[in-house]
Amino acid sequence: MIESTTSISRMTLPQLQAVFLAIRPRILTHAALVFRGVRCFHQRAEYIAETVAVGWRWFLRLAERGKDARHFPSVLATYAARAVKSGRRLCGQLRSKEVLSELGQMRHGFRVQPLPSSTRRSFEELHGTVGAQRQIDTFEERLQDNMQTPVPDQVAFRCDFPAWLKTRSPRDRHLIRAMAAEERTLDLAKRFQLSPARISQLRREYAADWYRYCAPPPEVERIDTLSA
């Protein structure tokens, strides 16, 4: 028998727990259906547990307002599972800009995998799995990749770039610095009162002039040919 909405707000915590346990199977069933596509058993169990926890918190909030969630358990389960799927947790919201965040991986379309403990594997282990050698080669290639500019190149750039800017007009220098700050073409066109096509054309002209300034004499003619 469903009690009136006025009595739900007067219940004690043990009574509210007993009422919630009556609709908990409905929440568990709905959460299991929503997260049935999660392959990891432990991850799927965590999502289901979070759905129950969020549902319990919302059930208490509804009870404080005099609303009995037993009248709409499916709606409560649907919104709780949807909230967990979008990154909400009982203790807060997942951050979408963290690498290890599930929400960040889902929104930006990547995943984090454990690295192999060592690239030195036995012949049987290396060739016993399809594509194992390719995976090792990819891993070694990533380890050798270095995104840091060598110190001599940094010194040369800090000396050559200001000298090259002095060869351009003041308007060109302002535009080049704005391009170096990775401003969008449309923003640059609006700021300097030029068309987007002209901004793209100037970008290519500046790049060719910079390469011409830094290149040794034998390569200047080749750069002029490519930029023509």
Q: Is residue 134 part of a domain?
A: no
Q: pTM of the predicted model, to two decimals?
A: 0.46
CA distance 124 to 126: 5
Q: Is residue 113 part of a domain?
A: no
Q: Is residue 83 part of a domain?
A: yes
Ordered DSSP codes for 138-202: HHHHHHH---SPPHHHHHHHHHHHHHHHTTS-HHHHHHHHHHHTT--HHHHHHHHT--HHHHHHH
Q: Is residue 124 part of a domain?
A: no
Q: Which range marks the domain in which residue 92 is found? A: 5-108
Give the C-alpha distances (Å, rounded to integers) separating 163 from 150, 175, 182, 197, 210. Answer: 20, 16, 21, 28, 11
Q: Are residues 104 and 11 in the same domain?
A: yes
Q: Is residue 126 part of a domain?
A: no
Q: Is residue 15 part of a domain?
A: yes
Q: Are residues 85 and 176 in the same domain?
A: no
Q: Is residue 141 part of a domain?
A: no
User: pLDDT truncated to tens, each residue of the chain (228 aa)?
Assistant: 344 444 787 888 888 889 899 999 999 999 999 888 888 888 889 889 999 999 998 898 888 888 888 889 889 999 999 888 887 777 777 776 777 777 777 777 777 766 665 555 666 666 666 776 677 777 777 666 666 778 888 888 888 999 999 999 999 999 999 888 877 888 888 889 999 899 989 998 998 888 888 876 655 455 455 555
Q: Is residue 159 part of a domain?
A: yes
Number of domains in the chain: 2
